[in-house]
Amino acid sequence: MPLVVPGINSGSDKSKTDEWTQKLVGKKIGENHDATTFAKTDLPKETRVIEPGSMVTKDFKPDRLNVHLADDGTVSHVDHQ
């Protein structure tokens, strides 16, 4: 099995993260999709929404989308881990 190092030789993690950053940052996660809200059902299967102060595991899953929320409930940033 070849060694894959995210950001070094996989190449696709950054483009996936950039794509989701453009779709989500500044929006809230909710039931419906509109100009200020992104529907939770439209997120990838491997997604976790992380609220301020939440504890999360440190296990590495390169296909998992982490959606980080600000205090007001809007998406502050996303990453793949």
Domains and CATH numbers, the chain: 12-80 (3.30.10.10)
User: Predicted confidence band at 3 (pLDDT cuts at 50, 70, 90)?
Assistant: low
Return the higher-pLDDT residue of 13 and 77: 77
Contacts of 28 (CB under 8 A, 6+ apart): 36, 37, 38, 73, 74, 75
When pLDDT is averaged across residues 53-63 and rounded to a whole number, the result is 93
Please compute the mean of the pLDDT values over residues 62-68 and round it to a whole number: 95
**Sequence-ordered strand ranges (E) for the chain:** 28-30, 37-39, 47-50, 65-69, 75-80
Distance CA 77, CA 56 (A): 16
State the pairing for strand pair 37-39/47-50. Answer: unpaired
| pLDDT of the residue at 5 | 53
Contact 27, 36 (CB under 8 A): yes
